[in-house]
Every structure is written in C-alpha cells, then in structure tokens.
Amino acid sequence: MKFFVDTAEIDEIAELNDLGMVDGVTTNPSLILKSGRDILEVTKEICDLVDGPVSAEVVATEADAMITEGRKLAEIAENVTVKLPLTWDGLKACNVLTNEGKMVNVTLCFSANQALLAAKAGATFISPFIGRLDDINLDGMELIEDIRTIYDNFGYETQILAASIRSVNHILDSARIGADVITAPPKVIKAMANHPLTDKGLAQFLADWEKTGQKIV
C-alpha cells in the first residue's frame, strides 16, 4: 500500500519522507489556507521534496475553467496530480486532462456510482472520503469494498486512494480491503507506531537494564 501524506506543511512532509514513509502528498484549499502559503510556491516546494504524485486542487467549478487551472498547476512539476471534484464538470475536465497525459485525482467521492464514472473518465486516482461518511452514520469502508469489487470486475486501472482518514483503524481496514493508497494527516500515520504493550515492554526492559549497571557505549 502507498502512503500519501495529507498536508501542505513542509516540515511534516520532510520528517516522514526521510523515513521512507511518503509515496506522495495530497493538498486541498483548506490545507493551503492552513499553511498560509501561496499554492504555486508551496506545491513546487513539495514536488521538489518528494518523488511521488503531489495533488494540487483546482478551485473553479466549470469544466473549461477547471481545465485551464489544471494545466497551470501541471506546469509546476512533472509529479503534480491535478485534483478535481467529482461533479459532471469535474469529470469532463478529468477526461480532457487525462487525454493530455496529466495525472488526475478525482476527489470528494461518496458513492460507487461516482467512482465508476471517474474510472470511465480516465482518473488516475479516485478519492472516496471515509471519515465524512462515518460522520453521517454511513460505513465508509463499505464504499471502499464496493469500488474495489467494481474496479477488479472490469479491470479499471484507476487507483483507490482512501481519503478523509481519521484513525489508524481506517488505515488498517483500507489495507485489508485492498485500497491502493491511503492519504492521512501526519499525526495519524505516526500513531500507527503506538501500542500500550510496546510502551510497557520497553519500560520493563529499561528498568531491568538499569539494574545490570552496564553500558553499551
């Protein structure tokens, strides 16, 4: 499974990238706002830092304007993935940009029907939003399962990018189902290393080691 980090904060990306934990990055207008940076400037910096796809999102809502913005974003670097909303205009823009050889991430997916349309339009990635479905008492993992089944049934190459990840369990469940990619905030990815029994065992080892009076160096 590929790990994308969902942030526009350079320091957070660099820390995980140094550990080999970053296969790509996703950003959106809200994350750009939080960073306080210019979208073209920060996207270029992220693209220079990581080798994998970096999603940069358009803000237009009409197809022709989306295409124009998408082309502008794609000029930043070869690893830019143009991020488009899953609307009819977004699908039109996806088809055009894909046919031009650009990577496209179709986002804000909440149904398997939407995911099927995105695959037909040639999307590189489809981003089903797990957490936001959970927020309204729907099972986000059922959506991942449905998309996986449909894509496997017909051989679609669009990669399932599980998004709106809120917990380590979301990551585990996505991996079990067979999502190709997850994108999560840095704190959630780092939380995967945590376990109370690890902490307890380490404390016991250190206490016993102290009693030996030894040093390694």
Residue positions annotated with a catalytic role: 83
CA pair distance 128, 178, nearest whole angstrom? 13
Exposure string for 47-77, b = 16+ CB within 10 A, e = fewer:
beebebbbbbbbebeebeebbebbeebbebe
